[in-house]
Amino acid sequence: KDRDMQADALKILLGAGGEQLLYQVLKQKDENARRLIGALGDIEDKKTKTILQNVLLDKQYSLDWRLEALQAMGKDWTGEDMLLALQKNKKLPADLQDSAGAILMNSNRDEMRRNALQYFKITASAKLNTIEPIEKLVTLKGDAVSGKAVFTTYCTSCHRVNNSGVN
């Protein structure tokens, strides 16, 4: 219910021309900005996805922030279509391409998954959506940046860690 109220409030604000207020919040790069990214991702609307796109394209934001914007953008068809268009037009930053490809490979639209295969470098394991056995995974050295990208791409739709994701 709170999420619905948030979404309604954001829609009213955007309808009244309040985009600049949202950008001011996002520039603070604090917990309110993180919550705003998540709330924008919950609304299937071109304006909200454009705001998220601007965050993910802005290198003034850390990779962590841009990955959150990418994940939020990829939650619905409007965002998926915009991510694919960025890749087709060679405007998607290289450091976000693997995560964007994974998001689109998990789309519920067959056509989007086919397009992801065409426009992204998708590994065989990503195509099959499989991971190594746990016995092998525990022997590997971790990479926090890559791990966060994986968590943001695959886990935040159901899990929450450090105020990223949902419960």
Given a cut of 90, whether residue 20 has pLDDT beyond it is yes
Share of the chain above pLDDT 90, in %: 64
Flag whether pLDDT at 41 surpasses 70: yes
Q: Decide: 166 and 156 in contact? Cβ < 8 Å.
A: yes
With beta carbons less than 8 A apart as the criterion, state whether 56 and 73 touch: yes
Tokens representing 70 are 């990418």
- Please report which confidence band the pLDDT of residue 10 belongs to, taking 50, 70 and 90 as the band edges: very high
For residue range 115-154, what is the model confidence (pLDDT) as tens digits?
999 999 876 445 444 456 677 777 878 778 777 777 777 7
Q: pLDDT tens-digit profile of 53-64? A: 999 999 999 999
pTM for this model (two decimals): 0.73
Distances (CA, A) of 22 to 52, 86, 151, 155: 11, 22, 26, 26
User: Would you say 51 and 41 are in contact if contact means Cβ atoms under 8 Å apart?
Assistant: no
